[in-house]
Structure 1
Amino acid sequence: MSIRSLSVSALLLTLLAAASPALAAEKVVKVYFLVGQSNMEGKGNPAHLDTYREDPAIKPTYAGLKDGDGWKVRDDVWITYPSKAGGAKHGPLTIGYGTKEPESIGPEFGFGHAIGEATETPVLLIKIAWGGKSLAVDFRPPSAPPTDAELAAMLERLQKKAPNTTLEEVKDRYGFYYRETIRHAKEELANIDAEFPELKGYKPEIAGFIWHQGFNDVINGDLKAEQYASYTRWLADFIRDVRKDLSAPDMPFVIGELSTGGIPNRGDFQKAQAATADMKEFQGNVAFVPTAEYYDTVAQALFEKGAWKGTDEEKAQWAAVGNDRPYHYLGSGKTYYLKGVAFADAVLKLQSK
């Protein structure tokens, strides 16, 4: 080998050695936040996917969900659920990250599988959800503080049950779960190495925020039908605030439609949700995802028939497709799975823009 060749080889080795620390530092894990109330917690029975394995919406991806007779445990998608009722849980993505025991699913199951198939880099899902929480009060963002009239009305309402309730206690209620969401999010980002040895040394890259919530804003009296425009504004503030508080100004944001009851229940509230995504500043970086199409009408018919308390045959028919009330999407594993897949498709489209 000539002296010139040796010199070139030495130069290349020197450059590679110098670049290797930078290359190592570029290892990235894509992070997605899945946030909301019981809509996001998940009450779905994964066995329902077995029932619907020949359904055109399930069949193309069904085989990828299984490992023999059991459910696949992914080695490229991880999940942490710090707010899980009964205690935090984390590990590789599989079933069991819903809240209906023993092993239920929420949108994270379909979402994680779809994202995992579409993404070459490792993926981490940070799921933060609590049942029965409104945007009007619990998730109220800092940019939309309650008015004096709202505070006074809540104080009066609470003092009827607990006369010693103070105004400060009322103020603390507003946005409490927003603050908890940000706290959990930051803690989980800081704890990746400790909770997931497989991801040690990977740099977290915030890739999206999925919001699936709304039931309590419809039913708990904090909003009336003529006031749904407030939800539109508050959700816009919520998006701006979480982007700011997570230092992710360009974070894609997906709004999952509140779709309890399916298409017949689609109305003014769902329009209010969609209106946030229609705002000019959110074009191309926020998406509204309809989900009423995934509501299980077969399960709904059996529920209305009372199959869950009928003959043994009717109970078996019901168990094959449902396990809960309509406000929990009938506990349909099919519904929760398809919603998750739709959320994944939407966030990937936002990323491509």
Structure 2
Amino acid sequence: MKNVSLIVLALCLLGCTYADRLPESKSPVKVFLLAGQSNMEGQGVVSMDHPRYYNGGKGNLVNTMKDPKKAHLYKHLKNEKGEWVVRDDVKITFRNRSGGLTIGYTGYGGTSHIGPELQFGHLVGDYYAGPVLLIKTAWGGKSLFKDFRPPSSGGTVGQFYELMLEDIHKALDNMEKNFPELAGRGYEIAGFVWMQGWNDMCESKAIPEYDKNLINLVKDLRKEFKSPNLPVVIGELGNGGPKAGGNMAAFRKAQKKGAEQIENAAFVITHDFWREPQQSPNVNHGHHWCGNAESYFLIGDALGKSIIKVIKGKDSDWMN
């Protein structure tokens, strides 16, 4: 009897060890919607290192991974052969591309850049035992005030709000065609990630109503996908770092104000992930985080940890 008790105790402890990773039992595919403008598209340089055009590769992903102080954070991105990992349990669709999560799902095609989706996908993929699908929909130079304007904000519904929905529905409708291994599972919309704001920040008349437009965007998306409590994370427009004045400071306040009024949502501070232009590939592209891959990796990391926290509804040791 004593041996049986010990076995039961051991099994209980084992169960506790894996309690934070949700069990797999032919569960529906967990779908995350990632939307926004060019910083959601992804501008983090992977390996380009031209002395003039990419600052000799400073701040690109390959060189960041070589830094002994940071290498441990990135080791999961490559396998033992030094090849970029392609996850078979985390799928992604972006425009006309679909496949396993890896580098390159940006507006550039090929494998030259990354966006927040890379590390975000690794985190949610590690969290769920079953398959995950990221549906990424983003266009550069688009405002929430006009281009993504949701129906509940009144006026003309934004062209890119409608295109965003079209992208999402198309990806969902074609999920089993693009990924036959997911056939028969069905899906659950598990979360929405919003990374946008540069164009609204640049237009003074857009800032005062950004909070309401953000609230309406989430409300309308939740209605569209019949998910009133859909977990949401909103990434701060952190370009330039902690010190901000003028339109940038006003816009960040509007973002935060809107996010705080949305139930089951979190506002994710990103300004600490800014890296100086001199240490980045694209020194003159402040609107794109100067192409710094570490910035995009850390943004994805923060967004991923935050949405898992929202999903769990409580603090977790897994996050630490």
> What is the TM-score normalised by the length of structure 2?
0.80
Q: Is the 1:27–1:201 contact (alpha carbons within 8 Å) kept by the matching residues of 2?
A: no
Residue in structure 2 matching 1:338, options 292, 298, 308: 298
> 1:1-353, aligned counterparts within 5 Å?
27-47=27-47, 48-53=60-65, 58-67=70-79, 68-82=81-95, 88-100=96-108, 102-103=110-111, 104-146=113-155, 171=156, 174-219=157-202, 221=203, 223-224=204-205, 228-265=207-244, 267-279=249-261, 282-283=262-263, 285-297=264-276, 300-302=277-279, 319=281, 322=282, 325-353=285-313
CA separation of 1:267 and 1:110: change in aligned 2, threshold 3 A: same
Write the letter of the residue equivalent to 2:31: V
**Conserved in 2, the CA contact under 8 Å of 1:323 and 1:332?**
no
Letter in 1 for 2:275: D
Q: Secondary structure at the match of 2:278?
A: helix
- In structure 1, stretches of 5+ residues that fail to align are 1-23, 83-87, 147-170, 303-317
**Aligned in 2, Cα 1:143/1:61: closer, same or farther, shift over 3 Å?**
same
Alpha-carbon contact 2:32-2:134 (below 8 Å) kept: yes
TM-score by length of 1: 0.73
Give, in angstroms, the shift of residue 53 of structure 1.
Answer: 2.7
Cα contact 1:26–1:203 (8 A) shared by 2: no
Query: Secondary structure of the equivalent of 1:267?
Result: helix
Q: Relative to 1, partners in 2 of residues 1:175 and 1:294: Cα closer, same or farther, differing over 3 Å?
A: same
Q: Deviation at 1:132?
A: 0.5
Q: Which runs of 5+ in 2 are unaligned?
A: 1-23, 48-59, 314-320
State whether residues 182 and 246 of structure 1, in contact with CA within 8 Å, keep that contact through their aligned partners in structure 2: no
- Size of the aligned set, in residue pairs, is 273
Residues 1:102 and 1:194: Cα distance change in structure 2 (over 3 Å):
closer
Distance in 2 between the 1:203 and 1:58 partners? Answer: 38
Rg (Cα) greater in structure: 1
Tell me the percent identity.
40
Question: Structure 1 counterpart of 2:39, which letter?
Answer: N
Distance 1:295 1:100, change over 3 A: farther
Separation in 1, partners of 2:62, 2:71: 10
Shift of 1:277: 2.0
Displacement of 1:229: 3.2
Matched residue of 2:45: which SS?
Answer: coil
> What is the Cα deviation at residue 39 of structure 1?
1.3
CA RMSD of aligned residues (A): 2.1
Question: Aligned partners of 2:209, 2:68: CA distance in 1, in Å?
Answer: 39
